[in-house]
Structure 1
Amino acid sequence: MRNILKLTAVLLMISIIHISIPMQVYGYDKGKVPEYVKIGLRYAESATPMISILGKGGLELGNDIGGGFNSMFSFLGNDEIIVRKDSFFMGFNGSFIEYQYDEQRDSNNSMIQGPIHVQIGPQFSTREEAQAFLSNLAYTGNKPYLSFEGSWQVWTGMFTSLTSAQSAMEAIRSTFPELELKVIPQNNMRIQILSSAGDVLCMLNLGETEYYFKSTTSTPIKVDGKNFRGDIGIKRYNDSDLTIINRLLLEEYLYSVVPKEMSGTWPLEAQKAQAVAARNYAIQNLGIHKQYGFDLCATSHCQVYGGFDSEHETSRKAVDETRGKFLTYKGNLVTPFYHSNSGGHTENSENIWSTPIDYLKGVNDPFSVGAPNDTWTYVMSKDQIQDLLNSKQLSVGELNGVQVTAYSDFGRVLKLELSGSADKKILEKEKVRSIFGYNNIKSTWFTVSTDASAIVITGNASEPQQISSSDFFVVTADGTEQMNGGLNQMVVFNGIDLKNISFNAQQYVFTGKGWGHGLGMSQWGAKKMAEEGYTYDQILTYYYTGTQIE
């Protein structure tokens, strides 16, 4: 039996660190599966002040009323338009950038467009009335445009200051003394819509209403160069820039998710398994981002979604051939966690997080062996580990040792002890990967060795053992004595070669298997199973114990 290096340390305090994940099981009801989903393309920190948008043949902008779409603005042709928040922008390299305006410095800079406008005439209850007024307005200044702020209005200008807006308003009054005029200040809920040349087409106060761009030809809509099926929604929140939402059919959403989560060139049956897993996951997590007005995001936080450009013919076929199919356990939808490579055996959920889940039990997985990352090695120096722990507020002083103190029955780490001159920390389960990095420690199925250990055969052992240099004893004239830990290194002769062994570990080697948490389906294992003739339902029920396809 091999023993992992143990170094003596003074135990001042033990900190137990662990993570858990909430698990929920929902009743299975096909009638409640939504036809459409809303995917957040940009929100919160990823929100941007401006986007470009293009619909081949034209776009309509409006909202849903009474089960139908209420078109408010039309943008015909194949010209790109710019949608941006009501703010300061400056022309730059044929486009625009948001600008930090300073009135004293920038008041004479004609390249800057601002968020202050002038209303010309009264408010109107219909777009047709406002459009008729605009068409008959013989105004030769800044081209007027329609704006909707709960009522229809005609505005002009994108002024950078109240002073410049008031000057423009007085000039208009001299020409149209009978008209109602009003300066319109900046509003955080308003968007500006411009031509690619920077001419205002219209403005819209979003308020709490959901507004969407629709293609007039049912073709994908291009947002900043990327194509998306369905509709593109715009929302404004006071604490962020533009929130961009893609509303589309659930099945069309999966067209993009499957090849982003699994290669579109892989066997059809493997992708069908991925399609069912992705469908389950989407339904189980609908509304996770409801505070931002959409169901799921487009990143790995939910499922990676790349839009129309990421689709693959085989992936679309996989989705179509499993349309309406779900993975269930005792009649309930399961949450089908999956990972890249199990390394040869999957794990029980309680050994990765904290909650036992009946359908997430470890199974032997020979299908993953031989695939990329079925084994891996990661090396860190003592100083690197100390610096890492310090940066995570987990300092132990001078590092004395790193050792696994508890394994699961299938070999994954349950507790990793980091001991030092001042403290001792214990990382549990997936917390190890979150601290050391998910791309560094690819799974919790690993062992730790150091440059202060050696593999020897002792007189009472039938197998080689890995032992610490601090555990060595020597025979002297006065008897057997333990080696002096104050030495820097010693030399061991194995009968053939001499080997230097350090007394104080300076390097730690993590040797592991697999990539990912190890729960549920191994994607590389699914690929191998498909190549060997297994069907998608056989793949899924193999990795998710006790489940069935409905």
Structure 2
Amino acid sequence: IITYINNNNINFKGGKVFLVVGGIVIGTLLISNLNLNEPKESINHNYQYIQKIDIVKPNLIEEEIVKENIINNNQINQNHQTKNIQSLDKETTTSKIESNNANQPIHEINQNTSSEIMVTLYRSNGIVEQINLESYVAGVVAAEMPASFNIEALKAQSILARTYALKKINNNQILTDSTSTQVYKDINQLKELWGSDYNFYYNKIVSATKSTEGKYLTYNNNFIEAVYHSTSNGQTEDSVNVWGNHYPYLVSVDSHWDLSATSYLRETYKDFNIISSILGISFNENSNIEILSKTNGQRIKQIKIDNFIFSGVELRNLLNLRSADIEFIINEKEVKIITRGYGHGVGMSQYGANGMAKEGYSYQQILNYYYPGTTLK
């Protein structure tokens, strides 16, 4: 760790180092009395980017931002659904943006050319497959959204999955079948997942992808950042409050449909010692918690715990919480944490999209609402 800090000119003079696996803090180290090289430039301690070496492509170092897509497994329809819980408790997926992330000019894609595009997919089992784009989109939609959702919501998800893939391909970036890009399940995996309901659900997914074949979202003739999330707190979030980058089409909009979702509200309890260890503070029943500011989407922007200030995104990630809309209730030996929504809150809310679809909105209207100013091609 010390060698890594030195080699990367990180301005670290000693203190706690958190060991994180899959977004979960598994341990801490206390490093002191360091004799490190002086950093070449000042580094902000609130790191937005994490250096990550991709095990599929050795020596490829990318900057990672979180594109969460989380849906809860409690929303269940009465028909054909006991086996339709494939991805309902997924925590996050990630969008990797390489350092040279200039958008390449995009070529017009239509229903005919879309079916000819091949996706190079790096599977979790080490196999590299060539898959037709539309088959890939179907496998992503099946993995990323419950097939029990309304068909118009599934169509909207199909366009986002296709847009995400096309942007990756256009920028010469890889696609995997895991949360490092978009989750993908093949036919055998779906048969195992859905069992006797396979034909019903697969035909529904294919119907959604087929009816939107070749369609994708652009802004100023560039593929959009096709981020989405499970459930909002009643409003979506502006991207600048999550990743520091502003996109005119990733702004806060009302999403009241989420208020009735089973994934909307959660309570969790954390021991004082756990919070103290993770945050590097002395947290107890007398600790003072003050929300200093909120975002446009009514999530915590800055919060003060005793004399320490955290961003809402930072606190959410450190404590492994479902959203940055956080409420604390301190008890004698633990704190009750209430969260509203599930995910970063940027872009389309999947439960919101399903709510809109149930009210009769089309997939075009859903996408236009959650990504204002974009063009469907």
CA root-mean-square deviation: 2.5
Name which one, 1 or 2, has greater alpha-carbon Rg. 1
Which of residues 224, 228, 237 is equivalent to 1:338?
Answer: 228
Q: Deviations over 1:368-407 (max 9, x none)?
A: 1201221222222212212333xxxxx2245544443221
Change (3 A) 1:273 1:308: same
| Structure 2 counterparts to residues 95-494 of structure 1, below 5 A | 243-286=126-169, 295-309=174-188, 310=190, 312-389=202-279, 395-397=280-282, 400-419=287-306, 425-437=308-320, 441-451=321-331
- DSSP 3-state at the match of 1:405: strand
2:273 maps to a residue whose letter is: D
SS, match of residue 365 in structure 2: helix
Query: Aligned to 1:281, what secondary structure does the other structure show?
Result: helix
- Across the two proteins, how many residue pairs are aligned to each other? 268
Rounded to whole Å, the distance in 2 between the matches of 1:382 and 1:531 is 43
**After superposition, where does 1:517-532 map in structure 2 within 5 Å?**
517-532=344-359
Contact 1:297 1:303 (C-alpha < 8 Å) held by counterparts: yes
Cα deviation per residue 1:219-274 (whole Å; 9 max; x = unaligned)?
Answer: xxxxxxxxxxxxxxxxxxxxxxxx31121101011111101111112221111000
TM-score w.r.t. the length of structure 1 is: 0.46
Counterpart contact for 1:19–1:428, Cα < 8 Å: no
The whole-number CA distance in structure 2 between the counterparts of 1:429 and 1:289 is 33
Runs (5+) with no aligned partner, structure 1: 1-14, 48-242, 390-394, 452-504
- Give, in whole Å, the separation in 1 of the partners of 2:172 and 2:269: 38
Change (3 A) 1:519 1:26: farther
Distance, in Å, in 1 between the alignment partners of 2:130 and 2:369 is: 34
Residue 537 in structure 1 maps to residue 364 in structure 2: yes
Distance 1:543 1:289, change over 3 A: same
User: What is the alpha-carbon distance in structure 2 between the residues aligned to residue 435 and residue 36 of structure 1?
Assistant: 39
3-state SS, counterpart of residue 37 of structure 1? strand
Pair 1:533–1:378, CA change in 2 (3 A): same
What corresponds to 1:549 in structure 2? 376
SS in 1 for 2:344: coil
Check 1:540–1:287 CA distance in 2 against 1; reply closer, same or farther (3 A cut): closer
**3-state SS of the aligned residue for 2:159?**
helix
Q: TM-score, normalised by structure 2?
A: 0.65
* Higher normalized strand content (fraction of residues): 1
- CA deviations over 1:300-337 (Å, ceiling 9, x no partner): 11111111132711111111111111111232211111
**Unpaired runs of 5+ in structure 2?**
1-43, 50-64, 66-96, 191-200
Higher helix share: 2
Q: Given residue 396 of structure 1, which amino acid in structure 2 is its aligned partner?
A: I
C-alpha separation in 2, matches of 1:37 and 1:277 = 16
